[in-house]
Chain A
Amino acid sequence: MSLLDPEVEGGAIEALYARGVTDGLPVVPPTRERVARAVAACGRARDAVIALVPPNYGPATVEKIAVNAVMAGCRPEYLPVVIAAVEAVCDEAFDLHGVSATTNAPAPLVVVNGPVRAALDINCGAGVFGPGWRANATIGRALRLVCVNVGGATPGVVSMSTLAHPGRYTYCIGEYEEASPWESLCVEHGFAPGRNTVAVLAADAPLGVYDHQSRTPEDLLATIAASLAVVSHHKMTHWGDTLLVLSPEHARIIGDAGWKKADARRWLWERLQRPVRELVPGKDGGEGLPEHVLRKFNDPATETTLIPKFRAPENLKLVVAGGTAGRFSAIVPGWTFSKASALVFRPIHTP
């Protein structure tokens, strides 16, 4: 068939790059046949509108999502996950408009829960944020292409992130539910066990936390708290949803001591509070509490009132992922200052 002629395909790859509809890497040319196969695999009408994608509010039909998923290299059976992720980022609470336009660096991180992880071979284990798994690599990439091509988030033109980060190529992990001492992220947020879901977080790059020596929850959480303290800026307060990705070994230290996720969250939240006097602008950096907060105190420079780093313990989201060997965890900071983005869930509808 002429469409699979290597020269024709090569020309299409170049033409798609030249049109500005790729992420810079070669894409799979979205032939009518490939797109039709992906649409058929999701069992939904091709012209069904899943969401309007900010900032252009372009209509993401099933077919439009499929075109981008094919380009990203998705297998047809991944499409339901991509569709759920598109729905999730277009939820008002996610603020994709801000996420796509801001000079900050957020990229939507997709966290997958449920049996679909095994069915599609979505990596939850060793190298979870890294390369090597087609599902992780292409589902996250498909979401990016939808944001750019349907949403209009052209990098450097409308999408004005100063630095961005590599998660803007792809950013998709599974939770290693089988290695977790606790209920999964989606069950914790009200979904029945066994449901397939995506959660999306407008997220910075993962920050590694190394701790090989701690053997109690208190020791390990003290390490993690010190790294959480620098999210955004060391004097930033009232931050919102942020993901803590615990490796199975780290999770066991906390779980084996009988601690629930809520206990760890509460411990971290209480630890992550600082007196006003340490948060004033000009002390350890020009940043600091905003004027409207400083005005509440007579003498901020000596004020001892504690201000929390995170708005509530519930903003600290815990998942277990990564290889079963290694005492490493990661903090994935959310782009979640007040009235900005929040973690959003959607069920995955498989045919």
Chain B
Amino acid sequence: MHDGVFFEDHGIPTATVISSEFQRAARAQADALGAKAYQTVVVEHPIQPLTREEVRALADKVYDEIVRRLTA
């Protein structure tokens, strides 16, 4: 979260992809830093036991949202 907030502060639109279990932590951390408008892109938890193909399928699912997060 610190990285994302840092890059946004420095003028770089950033999409941080996190798993669903960490949404609340990400929100709380961004808020604690004052970055109320900062948004993440969420994929379904868990990730670690997934195969390569299953992880790639998650990318297909969130690609459009990532692009939306980075553009006006």
Which residue of chain A is the closest to B21 with respect to CB atoms?
A: A160
From residue A238, how far is it (CB to closest CB) to chain B in Å?
19
Q: Chain B contacts of A56 at CB under 8 A? A: 29, 32-33
Complex: A152 Cα to B34 Cα, angstroms: 13
Cβ-defined contact, B29 with A152, below 8 A: yes
Cβ-defined contact, B25 with A157, below 8 A: yes
Complex: A152 Cα to B30 Cα, angstroms: 11
Which residue of chain A is the closest to B2 with respect to CB atoms?
A: A55
Give the size category of A's interface with B: 10 to 19
From residue A85, how far is it (CB to closest CB) to chain B in Å?
23
The contact of A158 among B21, B32, B49, by CB within 8 Å, is B32
Cβ-defined contact, A101 with B25, below 8 A: yes
A273 within 8 A of B: no
Cβ-defined contact, B25 with A160, below 8 A: yes
Which residue of chain A is the closest to B22 with respect to CB atoms?
A: A160
Cβ-defined contact, B33 with A158, below 8 A: no
Cβ-defined contact, A55 with B29, below 8 A: yes
From residue B7, how far is it (CB to closest CB) to chain A in Å?
17
B12 within 8 A of A: no
Which residue of chain B is the closest to A154 with respect to CB atoms?
A: B28
B24 within 8 A of A: yes
Complex: A97 Cα to B33 Cα, angstroms: 14
Q: Chain B contacts of A157 at CB under 8 A? A: 24-25, 28
Summed over the interface, the residue pairs from A and B with CB atoms below 8 Å come to a total of 21
Complex: A152 Cα to B2 Cα, angstroms: 13
Cβ-defined contact, A152 with B25, below 8 A: no
Q: Chain B contacts of A152 at CB under 8 A? A: 29, 32
Complex: A29 Cα to B21 Cα, angstroms: 35
Q: Chain B contacts of A160 at CB under 8 A? A: 21-22, 25
Q: Chain A contacts of B2 at CB under 8 A? A: 55, 97
**Chain B 3-27 interface mask (CB, 8 Å, partner A; 1/0):** 0000000000000000001101100
Complex: A263 Cα to B63 Cα, angstroms: 56
Complex: A300 Cα to B33 Cα, angstroms: 46
From residue B36, how far is it (CB to closest CB) to chain A in Å?
15
Complex: A286 Cα to B51 Cα, angstroms: 13
From residue A252, how far is it (CB to closest CB) to chain B in Å?
44
Q: Which of A97, A152, A286 has the most CB of B within 10 A?
A: A152
Complex: A240 Cα to B31 Cα, angstroms: 34
Which residue of chain A is the closest to B26 with respect to CB atoms?
A: A158
From residue B4, how far is it (CB to closest CB) to chain A in Å?
13
From residue A20, how far is it (CB to closest CB) to chain B in Å?
11
Which residue of chain B is the closest to A58 with respect to CB atoms?
A: B32
- Residues of chain B whose beta carbon lies under 8 Å from any beta carbon of chain A: 2, 21-22, 24-25, 28-29, 32-33, 49
**Can you sample 21 A-B contacts with CB below 8 Å?**
A55-B2, A55-B29, A56-B29, A56-B32, A56-B33, A97-B2, A101-B25, A152-B29, A152-B32, A154-B28, A157-B24, A157-B25, A157-B28, A158-B25, A158-B28, A158-B29, A158-B32, A160-B21, A160-B22, A160-B25, A286-B49
New A-B contacts (14) at CB < 8 Å, excluding given A157-B25, A158-B25: A55-B2, A55-B29, A56-B32, A56-B33, A101-B25, A152-B29, A152-B32, A154-B28, A157-B28, A158-B32, A160-B21, A160-B22, A160-B25, A286-B49
Q: Which 4 A/B pairs are nearest by Cβ-Cβ distance? A: A157-B28, A152-B32, A56-B32, A158-B28
